[in-house]
Structure formats: structure tokens, C-alpha cells
Amino acid sequence: MTPELFLVAGIMLVGLAVRLPSFGDSLWADELSTNFVVNGFGVGSLLHIVRSSQEATPALSFALTWLTKGFDGVEGLRVVSLLAGLAAIPLTYLLGLRTVGRPAAMVGAALIALCPLQIFYATEARAYSLVMLVCLIAALAMLIAVEDGRARGWIVYGLSVAAAAYTHFTSIFVLLVLFGWVMVARPQARRPALLANAGAALLFAPWIPQVLDDRHKPASQLLEIIHPLSLDAAKRDVIEWFLGHPHLPEGQLPGHLAVWLIVAGLVLGLAGLIYKMASEGAGNWWPPAAPLMLILLLAVATPVGLAIHNAFAPNLFIPRNLIASSPAMALATGALVTAGRAPLRPVAAALLIVGFSIGAVKMIDPDNRRPDFDGVADFIERTGQPGAPVVDVGPFTPGPQTPMEAALAPKGEAGPRDRLVMTIGFPTLAARLADANAHGGGGGLFLEAIPSDAEIARRAARAAGTGKIFLVVPEESFNADLTRVPGFRASLPPRFHEVEARRFSGLGIFPITVHVLQG
């Protein structure tokens, strides 16, 4: 094995080391929809639920997750993402070798390993790491096929294009750039490229009616409401995509020091490039060679594509939806910081990597990871009487389950078997599942099915008797109605009083406090 491959293997090990701590985090947010899709909970099959109003993401990532869901615990739902995120590291290096050179390829692989957003989505049971991987495979297969002209390269490219389309809508922008580049820059490869894309289109054709239907689903409309596109929002999203975390400001993660180190590395890299262009003549550097131009186009494909998409359809411009362009952006950044001469080149690369490393290490901190609902569940099981009721102030959930119900449920089930769990502001879990069943897999959560705070208090007190009620409250939430907690507590019989409050970690505004009320 060459020294370069040893180094890439080392980068992969570092990438694995910073991903493993959050691999077993509690299910949270959109992962609850994945859990519902792959387990069904009696509502329907995977394909039935994906085609319902529940999901606007195609089926491939769910199908692969269904195959791995039997692995121990929540990790079974995240295996696909973890493997895809790790595989993207060496594939980014291989793509860089064919386009921007070995030093830039090594830097690009390191950025994919260390970027906080990459770490987060490599441990998220959603399609984002997978769509990045299949887009990478498509780019590599296309370049190999262009070079050697063999049919097998074009077959892999065509299959990868189809797989990317079946994984996530946002892959279309990367796929269009790949197709456009080969048609313009490599005329001799036009015919096999056309045939490969025609084959991919045939493979994807059965899902096209579903794509048209997905445009009108609630999941497609929601982002427009909670995250409308503006210049300030786009700037923040691009920064979080490039160097930060999808749920934390860059001042917190990677932090101000890390941001300044990354900026310093980029500035030194740019200075080195300008000096080299001035000394060698700008004509030797512009226009860029075709492989470098491909990387630059791929790096901006998804941000530009989603910005244009926003003019015709609901907004999808958020950090996670930019991820298909992440490897190309990492390689373009690597090309920038390695373009100059010594001593600027190694210093620029070192500053950049140190800055990203700070963010990666911070991802290990429990306060920068998903809320610890599993820790809450373990606390309830250890300290409460059998069947002690739980009252949750859950945020909006994209699946029938709340995070607390998922944490208390046996593997593959929607909720606990012998414990009452009530969520303030939500219908009961049974009502949510019945609603989903009545609506073909997706639910409407009718307001008339929501119990009052007083009704929840009466049921919880009856279930607790003289024992404990566990009240689970996030410290803050943009979509959980915390103002209803005093009404619930006031509706409890006078015998209930708080005997303990325990805080559990969680990123950003999502730490959880458990209030133990003794009857």
C-alpha cells in the first residue's frame, strides 16, 4: 500500500472516530418518519407509506434501511448513512486524483471526514449521505468511462444516475452538470453518455408520477413556511453547509476560532493562487482545464439549482439539501489552498484542516448532539414504578411517533406496551396511527382529536395513583407549546408535587428537563 493510501485510510479512521459517538443517539426529528416508513406500525408497507403524504423522498434509502433495521437498536436505521458517509471519503479522494491533483484530493477527503455537517448526516437515518455517495459514484464512473471507453464504466454511470434519482430529488442538479459537461467537454463520449442517461431515465420512469405527486405533499410545502429563502438565509445556509452544523450557529460550532482559522487558510490559499497566476501569466490558469471546471461546476450545481428552483416551486434551499455538491466543494477548496507555492501552500492547508478538526471534535460533546431521549427513557425505567405514566411536551414530529415514544418503545414498535404516554398538544398515539391508516399512510392529525390539558392530567393521575408522573419538557422549542405546561400542572390533583428535576443534554435549544411529580 502506498503512503497516500495509508493516509487516506487514516483519514477514514478519523472520520469513523468522530462519527461513532453520535451513531447511537436517540431518534429525533425527520428520523421518526424513517422509523415509521421502514417499520410500518401496522399502517402499511414501506412502498405504501413512501407513496402517501407522509414522505416526499424517493424509496431507495428507505428500502436499504429496511434491510438493515434488524441490527441492534437505533443503529440499524443509521447503518446505510454511516457506510455511505465513510465511503464518500476515499471516493472524494479518487475523484480529486482525476480532476484537481493529489494534494487537493487529500485535503478534500479530509474536509469530508471532518465537516460537522457531514458527521451529522452520516449518523442521521435519512437519505442525505446516500445521495452524496451515489452522485460521487456517478461522477467517478463517468470520468473512468470517458478515459477508457469501456461499456462497463457507462453501465455503472447509468445505474448510479438512476440510483441518485431514486434517492433524493436534489441529485438532479449534479446529474445535469455531469451530463452537460461530458456533452460539451468530451464530444467523443456523447453517444455512450446519451445511451447511459436514456437507460437511467427508463429505470426511473415508473417513479415519475410519484415525483409529480410529491410536489403537492405537505413535506414539500413545509420548508417554504418555516424556512423561506432570503439573501441572509441563503448566506447562513451556505456557511453551515460548508463548515458548520445544520442546527447550530457557526459561532457555536465549529466556533469563532475555527471559523477564523478556516478563513485564514482560504485567504492564504487565494493569495498563493493570485501570486502564481501573476508570475506564470493568468492565461496559464484561465480558463481552467476541463477536469477542474467540472469540479467547480459540481460545487455550485446544487446551491445554484435550488436557488433557481425556488423561483418556480416551494423553497428547498437548506444546508442538508446542498450535500450532493459537498465533495466537489471540498475538492475545489482543496485546489484553492494547494494552488500556491511553499510556504503558503502547506500553511493554508494546515489552517483549513485544523479549523475543521476543531468542529469535528466539538461534535463529540453531548450538548452538540441530538437530545438524549434514550437517557430520559432509561431514567424513567430505573426510578419510576412499573407503568409510571409519562407526559411529554413534544415538538412537531414528521411521523406518528414523538421522540419520547420512540425512546420508550421496544425495537420496531411505535410506543411502550405497558406505560401510558401522553403528549400535550397531540392526539394520542393510537389516534395518530389510526389517522395515518385512514389517510393511506400519511396523517392529518385532526385538532378535534387532541385531548385537553385537564384530560391529560386526569388520565396521568389515574394511571400514577400514589406513584410518580414523569413530565418531559424541552428547555425551549420553536414548535412545542410550552405555555400549556402550567395548565397541565394546575389540573393535577393537589397531592402531586415535584420531588426532582433532571436535565439531559441536547443540541442548541433542545436540552430536556424531566420533572418527577410524586403523588
10-residue stretch averages of pLDDT, the chain, 519 residues long:
91 98 95 95 92 91 95 92 98 98 98 98 98 98 96 97 97 98 97 98 96 74 78 95 95 97 97 88 79 97 95 89 98 96 92 98 96 96 96 84 94 92 91 85 69 95 97 76 88 96 86 94
The reply to whether 463 falls in a domain is: yes
If asked whether residues 339 and 443 sit together in one domain, one would say no
Place of cell 429505470: 203
> What is the pLDDT at residue 214?
75
If asked whether residues 181 and 265 sit together in one domain, one would say yes
> What is the pLDDT at residue 132?
98
At 499, phi and psi to the nearest 5?
A: -115, -15
If asked whether residues 348 and 223 sit together in one domain, one would say yes
Last residue of a domain, one of 368, 384, 416: 368
Contact predicate 413/503, CB 8 Å: no
If asked whether residues 138 and 249 sit together in one domain, one would say yes
CA distance 270 to 481: 48
The reply to whether 43 falls in a domain is: no
Bridge partners of residue 516, in order along the sequence: 470, 500
Contact predicate 463/389, CB 8 Å: yes
> What is the pLDDT at residue 283?
73
If asked whether residues 293 and 442 sit together in one domain, one would say no
> What is the pLDDT at residue 375?
96
| Type and span of the H or E element at 515 | strand 512-518
The reply to whether 145 falls in a domain is: yes
The reply to whether 44 falls in a domain is: no
If asked whether residues 254 and 337 sit together in one domain, one would say yes
The reply to whether 110 falls in a domain is: yes
Contact predicate 116/253, CB 8 Å: yes
Could you say which DSSP state residue 248 is in?
B
If asked whether residues 244 and 326 sit together in one domain, one would say yes
If asked whether residues 85 and 138 sit together in one domain, one would say yes
Q: Specify the CATH number for the domain of residue 487.
A: 3.40.50
- Indicate the number of domains in the chain: 2
> What is the pLDDT at residue 315?
85
> What is the pLDDT at residue 446?
59
Could you say which DSSP state residue 402 is in?
-
Give the Cα-Cα-Cα angle 332, 302, 297 (nearest 5 degrees): 40
> What is the pLDDT at residue 444?
63
Last residue of a domain, one of 306, 338, 368: 368
The reply to whether 47 falls in a domain is: no
CA distance 507 to 116: 13
If asked whether residues 378 and 363 sit together in one domain, one would say no
If asked whether residues 353 and 379 sit together in one domain, one would say no
If asked whether residues 328 and 465 sit together in one domain, one would say no
If asked whether residues 297 and 440 sit together in one domain, one would say no
The reply to whether 156 falls in a domain is: yes
Last residue of a domain, one of 342, 368, 394: 368
The reply to whether 64 falls in a domain is: no
Which residues form the domain of 512? 373-518
Judge if pTM exceeds 0.85: yes
Could you list the beta-strand ranges (E) of 159-220: none
Give the total residue count for the chain. 519
